[in-house]
Amino acid sequence: MSDARPVLRVLIVDDEEPARLALRAGLAEVGGAEIVGECANGFDAVKAVADAQPDVVLLDVQMPKLDGFEVLELIGRAVPVVFVTAYDAFALRAFEVHAVDYLLKPFTDARLAEALERVRQRRGGASPDPVAIGATVRQGRTLERVVIRDGAHVHVIPVERIDYVEAQDDYVAFHTGGRTLLKEQTISALEAQLEPRQFVRIHRSYLLNIERLARVELYAKDSRLAILTDGTKLPVSRSGHQRLQELL
């Protein structure tokens, strides 16, 4: 009797060879899957998703260069992702970014088969049954770096290198070391992810790295300018000035 399940084209992403071997063996055992590529780091994974167009990515969380969440941010939600990791602390965050499933190493063949079935349901337009999450997520998590896709290039910017951020319609412009890089995101969403003692909303359109501030000047009644260490001038709103005073 033939297997009526659609064959899933799978991309495996894990920086450890034994983990990739375990996934290969598990996929061979459960069937219904074709491995279209393997990657040992996040940069290669982003390129492989574009090239191979897999049906699902089996993605490790903790990897060098780019972690699993940064890979997911860059590839978007068009390709279903199943996180495969030895750490349960990221489970809640995984489902917040719409991962299909979350496999804890070591996993059983039955659990892997269940994850693949959830992918088939998602691809078929059905809403998979919710997964019970027996994990916690660290509260108060702030960004340590920002990943930005610029055509075929991926930029990884530590937040301490950001001079300021400017809202531009549905994008934010990151100004860093004389460069400007655009990312599709709202400035309010970004503000919620940054350390509030380091980045302050000085204006509805500007977030400033407080370490880049040289001084604040009054140039008209109730109107102020933030002068950065490189001479850049940014507008400061009344509420923005209050926030600055609280930090300085």
Return the CATH class of domain 145-247: mainly beta
When mean pLDDT is compared across 72-81, 171-180, 197-206, the lowest value belongs to: 72-81
8-123 and 145-247 share one fold: no
State percent of the chain over pLDDT 70.
Answer: 92
Beta bridge mates, 203 = 206
**Mean per-residue pLDDT, 118-146:** 64
Task: Provide the CB-side half-sphere exposure for 167 (13 A, CA).
Answer: 16
Percent of the chain past pLDDT 90, that is, above it, reads: 67
CA distance 42 to 14: 8
Give CATH for domain 8-123. 3.40.50.2300
Domain coordinates in residue numbering, the chain: 8-123, 145-247
Question: How much is the pLDDT for 169?
Answer: 86
d(CA 234, CA 98): 37
